[in-house]
Each structure stands twice: as structure tokens, then as C-alpha cells.
Amino acid sequence: MDAFDAELGERPEPATVGEPGEEPESTTVVVIGAGPAGLTVANLLRSCGIDCIVLERRSREYVARRQRAGIVESRAVRMFASWGLADLVLGGPPHDGILEFRVDGERHFVDDTDGSAGPGARLCPQQVLVQKLTTAHLAEGGDLRYEAADVSLHGLTGDRPTVRYRSADGVPHTLTCAFVAGCDGDHGITRTAVPDGVLTAHTLDHGIGWLTVLADAPPPAHPLLAVSPQGFAAHFPRGPHSSRYYLQCPLGDDPGAWPDDRVWDALCTRLADPALTAGPVTDRETFRLRSLVHDPMQYGRLFLVGDAAHIVSPMGGKGMNLALYDADLFARAVRDHVRDHDDTGLREYSRRCLRRVWNDQEFSHWLTRTVHDAGDATGSGPFLRHLARARLDRLFTSPTATRAFAELMTGLE
């Protein structure tokens, strides 16, 4: 039993062994999931010489194509720089630090840089980050196993947890490790390995529906949030020739109810831009805005990282960036444990992550309410609309309010 076991203060569960005749493999960390969180954990661990095995349910091609976030915020850029990995894993141009709010067609530009020294945010789409993290990890000889099925966790409160899975050819495998990183997103299995009653789920349904559309159409000059009586809309860059759009829509709307003509008409109206250039739509989906936090983010030797622990409404661009922050704290904690026998980082992991998670949840909630309440004539009612417009007015006119906004956008302490 090592120092970390003593800290657990629980009776260790016995770890299960593999199938008869099967020789378990051993590693320091098993990472479940090869999204931004899992790949960042893997790259950071490798860069300090700690071995890990990454298990991913999907194929490499599928994971590399998944398009979601578009900006790596300053905090995360600086995090990768502190590990010497920024040039290797970040793509895309720097974000110029300007965010546009368009309120009933009137343009307001807000500087969302916090004025501190150091590299700023990057317009690096999530799939580019994932592709670069994958390439970097494999180039360093990293062990990344795709199409891993039936992953299950055992003995999480013991000193050597085991992870079992089946490879694509149906062969069962058993891994033993010191720690498991649960980086398998909101619908993964790692959280389900935690006994009932250990984690508390704090949830919020915002009561707002969004249609999101990806298109091969010119990106905006600056990320753009638009408030209008027809509802919220947004236009974000996702590469030199592609854009992501958001349109507030009735809850439960089917994406099929939004053919191309309707999408472009609604965008032209809500963005107050009749000359908006359309392009082929490559993806369209509807979803409900919700927020979720699991507390604590740890059970025994399982550490939840990224979306496996929390979901943030997309307003404010925090989900992927929080995943990168968790990954950094987890990798540092394991490094300190292995190198210096210092378990402070492991003990403090959940508390430190959650402090940042709630800070970003609050910002995301504030921005979500503001841009929706300020515009949607049918939703929140006139009183809340006036309050939201007063908040926007303060943001556009008060340097102190702009500065506070910028600090939250950049993600700096």
C-alpha cells in the first residue's frame, strides 16, 4: 500500500484478474477516451516520462472528424506552453481578441483580451487539436488503442485497479495500473463504475433549444453573438473556409425542420446581414442547453476529467477548455506522485478542478441568460429583457465591466 492508499482511507476492493491464461499488462495510468481530455492527459504524461495506455471506443478516423469547439483560450495555450507542447499541438491563427455583439443589428466590439503578457487564445478547432495531439502522442511511441469495446473498471479503491476491454478482433485484455483517468465524456462508462451515492450530480436545464449548423462558408471577421427579437444567433470561425452557426429554436425541434433556406433566412435576419454568404451545410443538429457538475471528480484511483465530470452550456466556449485544465491538473498530480512521492495534487484534484468549473459555469450561465433574455420577445418577458439589456449596456460602456468579462473569457485566474 503506498501513501495514496493510506489517504483513501477506505477498505480496498480486490482487483479482478484477467481471463484464465491471460497475462495482464501493467502501466501507470489507463486513460479511457481519446478526446481532448484523454489525449491531453496522455501527451502531458508522456512528456514527463510516465507511461499510459489510452483506450478509445471509436475508430481514429471517427474521433479525428468530430467538430465542436473552435477556440483554445489563453489559459490553455499557456498551459500547453508550460509543458513545451504549444507549437506541437496547437494549430490555427491567433484570436485577435475582438468579440462582436450585434444587438438588433447594432454592432458593438468588445476586447476580450485581458492585457496580460504571454500568448493569447488560438482559433484552433477541436478536431485540429485532437488530430495534432494524436499525431504527437503516436510520434512519441504512445500506446493508443482504438475500437476498444466493453471497457470495465475494477478495484478502484485498491492499490492496483484493473481495466478490462475487448479489442476490435474480440480478444479480451486486462490492464493493471496505478490510476484510471476517466476521459470518456458525458456518455462514457467510467462514471458508472462509481457506486451509487458517492457522486452528487448538480444539473440545470436552461429551457433553451439550439440548432447548430456547420457550413463551408466564410468565417466572420470576429466571433459574433447576435441578439434579436427573433431569438439568439451566433457565427463563429471554424477554419479559413468554414463556420459554425447557432440559432435559438423551439425546444425539441427536429433538425429536419430546418432546411437550408430556412437556416440562411433566419441567419440573415438575426445577424442583420442580408448579404451573408451561404455555403454547403455539412452538419446540422438540435440540442437543449444544459449544465451539469459531478462532485467529487474522484473515486479512489479513478479521476474524472473533462465532460465525464461536467457539461457547460456552449455559451462562452468553456467545455473543451475546462477539459484541458482538468487534464493539466491531473497530469501534474500524477507526476508529483511518481517523481516526488507528493500526493497533494491527487488529494486536491477534485477541489481545485471544481473551483474552476463553478467559476466557468457561472460565467457561461450569465452569458447564456444575457444573450437570450435580451432578445427573445416570447421567452423571458419584458422585465428580464430590460435587465439583460442593462447588463449588455454596462459591458459596452464600462471599462471595468469589459475587463471583468475579458478575464472570464480568457480563463485567467
Provide the minimum distance between the beta carbon of 217 and ligand RFL in the complex, in angstroms, as a whole number.
17
The CB-side HSE value for 205 (13 A sphere, CA atoms) comes to 5
The CA radius of gyration of the chain, in Å to the nearest whole number, is: 22
Rounded distance between C-alpha atoms, residue 103 and residue 371, angstroms: 9
- Positions that interact with ligand RFL (CB under 6 A): 32-38, 55-58, 63, 68-70, 126, 148, 151, 183-185, 188-189, 212, 287, 306-307, 314, 317-321, 323
Provide the minimum distance between the beta carbon of 21 and ligand RFL in the complex, in angstroms, as a whole number.
25
Q: Which is nearer to ligand RFL, 70 or 300 (CB)?
A: 70
Q: At what angle do helices 319-340 and 74-82 cross, to 10 degrees?
A: 20
**Nearest to 331, CA basis, from 51, 27, 140:** 51
Rounded distance between C-alpha atoms, residue 180 and residue 193, angstroms: 11
Provide the minimum distance between the beta carbon of 372 and ligand RFL in the complex, in angstroms, as a whole number.
16
Provide the minimum distance between the beta carbon of 325 and ligand RFL in the complex, in angstroms, as a whole number.
10
**Nearest to 134, CA basis, from 200, 58, 186:** 58
Q: Which is nearer to ligand RFL, 126 or 174 (CB)?
A: 126
Rounded distance between C-alpha atoms, residue 39 and residue 287, angstroms: 26
Q: Which is nearer to ligand RFL, 185 or 375 (CB)?
A: 185
Q: Which is nearer to ligand RFL, 142 or 317 (CB)?
A: 317
Provide the minimum distance between the beta carbon of 111 and ligand RFL in the complex, in angstroms, as a whole number.
19
Provide the minimum distance between the beta carbon of 326 and ligand RFL in the complex, in angstroms, as a whole number.
8
Please give the angle made by the CA atoms of 320, 322 and 324, to the nearest 5 degrees.
75
Q: Which is nearer to ligand RFL, 356 or 385 (CB)?
A: 356
Q: Which is nearer to ligand RFL, 323 or 408 (CB)?
A: 323
What one-letter code names the amino acid at 88? Answer: L
Cell of 404: 471583468
